[in-house]
């Protein structure tokens, strides 16, 4: 990171107002961890940027995470999770995980983990984290209060993306080096079942709220595959129609990003070669392609606001779900575009966290 960037960030920390106004009404905020695309500091610098959703996504605060000297290499942010139950948020980079207070940004702990860290998930009660190694053999089960490792799972799949089911009953473990999706029982911290095999190693994926269906991106596919969680079998393969599968800037995967709207009526899919998001009707099987949202940059991730009104693209573009129109873009304190694949929304009232979103676009229909 440049010396100039370090000075700018330090000044902002002192200049921007605190968001913990005890007399304020409920605040709807978007938290963005950066650098959230590789280690590219030009799209947000280093830290957690906080945007006011109700004020046109205006930047209202920047919380510090790791600091780097000008001659040091900045590390990627790998994952981002938060808990309304405890008021804490967690950020991982290639080697470490940090816990911070959501409202104040105060650092609570910062620990390194054997084999590094990737995109983790937190339990609904906020007490436990499943933290994948950096494409290694293991997932660490971590006490969210202390950062201590309390158990280890070893599927040897190239540990990568992790989703904790909304009902808390299971944890989904996807590895880059395996076509099988593992599902862990958090009561015993053991692998309970597998789904697949899919056509290749699993990249981003999402699940519905009732834990019956999984939708996965796989290498070499502009599209997605669907798995039946109950039977453990792959149901179908869906390829995007009307668009060519060309080269991509990052990830080496034509579709790196997939998300269900909270009401599970639509499935949104990233198309890196064509700078687009394709929308599918998820009420039918296989899901049916309906429309396309064209973006200004390469999309590598998609998620949704908790109320389902907005889609968050890693390109920094905010999309109205109903109209499929881009309604805002994220910019930092210097007017520069902010891009990140690690973001989530939060509600804060009277200095306390009321609700916390999720970095994955997971369905929320529990039945």
Is it the case that residue 13 has pLDDT exceeding 80? no
- The 10s digit of each residue's pLDDT in 56-89 is 999 999 999 999 998 999 999 999 999 999 999 9
pLDDT at position 25 is: 87
Pairing of strands 343-349, 352-356: antiparallel
Distance (Å, whole) CA 62 – CA 8: 11
- The 10s digit of each residue's pLDDT in 175-196 is 999 999 999 999 999 999 999 9
Q: Which of 7, 28, 17, 50 is nearest to 348 (CA)?
A: 28
User: Which pTM value belongs to this model?
Assistant: 0.93
Distance (Å, whole) CA 43 – CA 77: 12
Average pLDDT in the chain? 93
pLDDT category at 367 given cuts 50, 70, 90 is confident
Range in 12-16, 49-53, 83-87, 355-359 with the lowest mean pLDDT: 12-16
Distance (Å, whole) CA 338 – CA 31: 12
- The 10s digit of each residue's pLDDT in 274-298 is 999 999 999 999 999 999 999 999 9
Distance (Å, whole) CA 257 – CA 246: 16
Q: Which of 240, 164, 247 is nearest to 207 (CA)?
A: 164
**Cis before 286? omega within 30:** yes
Domains (ranges, CATH) in the chain? 1-117+330-358 (2.40.128)
Is it the case that residue 4 has pLDDT exceeding 90? no
* Percentage above 90 pLDDT, the chain: 92
pLDDT at position 308 is: 97
Q: Which of 105, 186, 118 is nearest to 348 (CA)?
A: 105
**Mean pLDDT calculated for residue range 206-212:** 98
pLDDT at position 145 is: 98
- Over the range 192-228, which residues count as b (16 or more CB within 10 Å of their CB) and which as e? eebbbbbebbbbbbbbbbbbebbbbbbbebbbbbbbe
Is it the case that residue 334 has pLDDT exceeding 80? yes
- The 10s digit of each residue's pLDDT in 123-156 is 999 999 999 999 999 999 999 999 999 999 999 9
**Mean pLDDT calculated for residue range 309-329:** 98
**Mean pLDDT calculated for residue range 228-256:** 96
């Amino acid at each position: 990171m440049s010396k100039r960037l370090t000075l700018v960030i330090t000044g902002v920390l002192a200049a921007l107002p605190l968001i913990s106004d005890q007399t304020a009404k409920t605040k709807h905020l978007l938290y963005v961890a950066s650098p959230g695309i590789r280690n590219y500091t030009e799209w947000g610098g280093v830290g957690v940027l906080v945007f006011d959703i109700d004020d046109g996504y205006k930047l209202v605060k920047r919380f510090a995470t790791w600091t780097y000297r000008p001659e040091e290499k900045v590390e990627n942010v790998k994952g981002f999770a938060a808990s309304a139950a405890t008021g804490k948020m967690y950020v991982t980079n290639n080697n470490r995980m940090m816990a911070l207070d959501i409202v104040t940004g105060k650092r609570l702990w910062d620990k390194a983990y054997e084999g590094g860290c990737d995109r983790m998930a937190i339990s609904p009660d906020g007490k436990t984290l499943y933290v994948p190694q950096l494409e290694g053999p293991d997932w660490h089960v971590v006490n969210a209060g202390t950062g201590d490792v309390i158990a280890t799972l070893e599927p040897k799949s190239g540990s990568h993306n992790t989703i904790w089911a909304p009902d808390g009953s299971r944890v989904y473990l996807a590895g880059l080096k395996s076509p099988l999706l593992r599902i862990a029982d958090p009561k015993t911290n053991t692998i309970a079942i597998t789904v697949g095999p899919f056509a290749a190693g699993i990249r981003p994926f999402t699940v519905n709220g009732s834990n019956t269906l999984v939708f996965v991106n796989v290498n070499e596919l502009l599209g997605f595959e669907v798995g039946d969680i109950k039977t453990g079998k792959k149901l179908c393969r869906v390829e995007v129609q009307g668009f060519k599968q060309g080269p991509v800037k990052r990830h080496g995967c034509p579709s790196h990003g997939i998300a269900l709207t909270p009401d599970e009526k639509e499935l949104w899919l990233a198309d890196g070669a064509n700078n687009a998001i394709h929308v599918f009707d998820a009420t039918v099987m296989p899901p049916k392609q309906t429309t396309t949202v064209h973006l200004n940059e390469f999309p590598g991730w998609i998620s949704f606001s908790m109320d389902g009104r907005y889609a968050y693209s890693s390109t920094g573009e905010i999309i109205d779900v109903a109209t499929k129109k881009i309604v805002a873009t994220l910019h930092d304190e210097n007017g520069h575009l902010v891009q990140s694949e690690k973001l989530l929304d939060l509600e804060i009232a009277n200095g306390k966290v009321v609700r916390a979103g999720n970095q994955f676009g997971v369905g929320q229909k529990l039945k």
